[in-house]
Amino acid sequence: MESQDSKSKIIKETFPSEIVSIIGDLLAGIILSLFIIHFDSFLVLILMIPALLSLRGNLSGPFIARTSRDLVIGTLSRRSWLENALATYTLSIITAFFIGIFSMILNLAFFKLTILPMGYFILIPIISIILALSISIPCSTGLNYLAFKKGLTPNNVVNPVMTAVDDFSTVFCFLLTIIILGVP
C-alpha cells in the first residue's frame, strides 16, 4: 500500500503536467480548426485526424514508458534506445498505412469525393506520423532524462507533457504534409 507521502508526490508531480497537457491539446485543436476548414478536401482530411492522434498516443506512450523504465532501472543504452525508436517508427508506419487504407474506404463508402488523389490517403498519414515522431522521440527522451535527473518520476511528468507536445506536433506535421503535397 502506498504511503500518504507517495500519493501526494504523485499528485504534485502529475497535476502541473496535466494542466500543460490540457492547454496544449486545446491549442492544437484550435489551430487545426482554423487551418483545416479552408481545404476543399476537409471532409476527407478530417477522417484521418482522430486516428493519427490516437496512433501517436498509442505508440509514443509506450516509447516514453520504456525509456523511463530504462532510466529508472539503469539499463538505458544507445542500443536499447535505438531499438525502441526503430520499433516505434516501424509500428507507426505500418499503422499509418492502415489509417490511409481505412480513410480511403470510408471516403469511397460515404463521401465518394474524388478531390484527393487516392495515393494521398496513404502518403498523408505516413509522412505526418514520421515527421511527428521525429519531434516526439527526441523531446520525450530529453524530458525523461531531465525529469529523472531532477529527482522526479518520469512516468508522472513526461507522459502528460508529451501528450500536449505530441498532439500539437501531430497537428502541425499533418498541416505541413497537406501543404507540401498541395492538397486542395
What are the sequence ranges of the domains in the chain?
A: 16-33+41-180
Class in CATH terms, 16-33+41-180: mainly alpha
* Cα angle for residues 143, 145, 139 (degrees, 5° grid): 30
Mean pLDDT of 134-143: 96
Flag whether pLDDT at 127 surpasses 80.
Answer: yes
pLDDT at 74: 93
Q: What is the pLDDT of residues 64-107, one digit of tens each?
A: 999 999 999 999 999 999 999 999 999 999 999 999 999 999 98
Residue with cell 490516437: 54
End-to-end CA distance of the chain: 57
pLDDT at 3: 61
One-letter amino acid at 56 equals R
Mean pLDDT of 129-139: 96
